[in-house]
Amino acid sequence: MQATITDKEILKDIEKFEKLLADYLAGDLDEDSFRVFRLNNGIYGQRQGGFNQMVRIKIPYGAVNADQLEMMAYVAETYSRGWGHLTTRQNIQFHFVQLSTIPDFLRDIGSVGMTTREACGDTVRNVMGCHLAGACPFEVLDISPWAEATFNYLLRHPYSQRLPRKLKINFSGCVTDCGQAMFNDIGVVAVAQPREDGTTESGFRVYIGGGLGANPHPAQALEPFTSREDLLPTVEAILRTFDHFGNRFNKLRARLKWLVDELGIEELRRRILRERQLLLASATWPGGIPEAVLVAGDAPAGMTATGEVTKLGVPVALRLKPESDAFTKWEKANVYYGVAKGTVSAIAHAILGDITSHQFRELASIIRDFGVEMRITNRQNIAIRNLEKNQLRELFERLVAIDMARPSAELAGDVVSCPGADTCNLAVTQSRGLAEDIGRALEEAGLADVGGVRINVSGCTNSCGQHHVADIGFHGAERRAHGRPAPGYQLLLGGHLGDTEVEFAQKALRLPAKSAGEATVRLVSRFAEEREPGETFSSFVTRLGGAKKLAEDLKDLDVWPTPEENPDYYVDFGETGPYVPEVGIGECAAS
């Protein structure tokens, strides 16, 4: 099931982009106006300047089909550098695309029903959803058609275009919250409430005002229960309230989370619910069950016949036995069982979220040959769904052939990173390089397969790598040592998300970039050796005295040799010369 976009809509978008691009190149359209327009169409300037662009393609709830994957291979080779990047918000990004080629790029992806519209800028961004929706035995509703309906309804919606700031929407099918609803502007979680006759009604609990960035805020419930019929009116009411009352004069305090701080949650709730009450009079009122839901259905996957769940998610105690063969290790770490129909799901590990054109094509072939579905996960991997158990061995061999069968997907060795200073204007460090170094260090230490530890890296404080909700998080920071600038990181510990609760990681200590890998090895090793049965990493951190207490055993790593003793400390990952902190003008909100 894919989000559909008509040819007429695509053509109008492209024709407008082509015309305004020509006006801009001819000097008839000023830089600021074109930048806002460009961003609203998902085209983001890179730190390299000139006409180098990042193109972000929206993938609603991560669902992608074979034709689209083949197109991704084509555009990677034709317009970019031979590979694409999966984001933590289930988008696909391509870098170093030349501005003059954007209209052709848009035509190509439009031919397979894909769009970049509103993927950047002050808009409603990609609508996310749990990658196991429709295959999860715990879900109350299959949120897939709801995420699609929301995406379709808000795409090109008048209120989606020029908001005070970007607005992000996430869906989860149960309170486990694999869709990460609790730190987004609008988080939608499927829940059930009892009726007077003893039956239950399935619907939603809508959370508002969450966000990460330099100042993370937890989302808060709008009301105890929102009916299925009221969901889209509720979303539009939130959108309208944000548009009316959000801060349009200070981008740094313009997100919905700041409106919670300014008005208070009770007053914000009152305004949203009042807006929804009167929305019936609007020409855009979207009440009732959306057509996408009526057609596809939203019944939950359900438990197995015995009510048992063989495996869902990654158990905290998971370690792979060294003597296990490669297939057994992969199956134990990357395969999910427990759906009533007897199907299984598997995770294809995209290292650092990168997928080459060859890998895109092979994934498309797997969809056709196995009759499966694929979704991008919020940890930058690919979920392969609706498998049969007898297909696993062949699937494993196919993934091995394209280097996507590493058995550490979603485990400690599967490190998430933003693009960092490789392309981003705001990053101060090469976060991708650190993520790769951490993965290498854990692999060499035999710790890549430790479960219950999620490691995230951001190149600055803005948390595009989601370091605030990681068990072990890092964000880039310029350090000065012996009179020289040097790449460093702030280490944070104990972030947790689940059960419709979010706990943000706490600062531990600052480290040289080249010491962060060793710090991670020590932390993961200690967790693997000292944790109690079933203990989460955040509980482990609390039991041992908190982030600062754990950091005491790492203070020996916050030592800077002189440039003469070890010049490598003054060179960032992937660079060849001395570290130079360069921060450009941010474009994520046309600021």
Residue 308 pLDDT: 42
Compute the C-alpha angle 231/232/233, nearest 5°. 95
Low-confidence spans in the chain with pLDDT less than 70:
1-7, 303-323, 338-343, 583-591
Residue 276 pLDDT: 97
Question: How far apart are the C-alpha atoms of 239 and 185, rounded to whole Å?
Answer: 10
Q: What secondary structure letter does DSSP report for 67?
A: H
For residue range 119-137, what is the model confidence (pLDDT) as tens digits?
999 999 999 999 999 888 8
Question: What's the one-letter identity of residue 183?
Answer: F
Compute the C-alpha angle 147/347/331, nearest 5°. 140
Compute the C-alpha angle 31/34/39, nearest 5°. 120
Burial of 298 per CB tally in 10 Å (0-12, 13-18, 19+): buried
Question: How far apart are the C-alpha atoms of 471 and 495, rounded to whole Å?
Answer: 5
Residue 313 pLDDT: 41
Residue 588 pLDDT: 59
Residue 432 pLDDT: 96
Catalogue all structural domains in the chain, each as residue range(s) with its CATH number: 138-300 (3.30.413.10), 416-570 (3.30.413.10)
Residue 323 pLDDT: 57
Residue 410 pLDDT: 84
Q: Are 369 and 308 in contact (CB under 8 A)?
A: no
- Other CB atoms within 10 A of residue 474 CB: 33
Q: Are 171 and 147 in contact (CB under 8 A)?
A: yes
Helix 326-334, helix 392-401: angle, nearest 10: 100
Residue 316 pLDDT: 42
Contact residues for 202 (Cβ-Cβ < 8 A; gap 6+)? 140, 141, 190, 191, 192, 228, 300
How does DSSP assign 415-458, residue by residue? -EE--GGGT-SS--S-HHHHHHHHHHHHHHTT-TT-SS--EEEE
Partner residues linked to 470 by β-bridges: none
Residue 4 pLDDT: 45
Counting every residue written for the chain, the total comes to 591
Q: Measuring CA to CA, which residue among 242, 269, 267, 237 is closest to residue 255?
A: 242
Residue 303 pLDDT: 56
Residue 227 pLDDT: 97
Question: How far apart are the C-alpha atoms of 405 and 386, rounded to whole Å?
Answer: 18
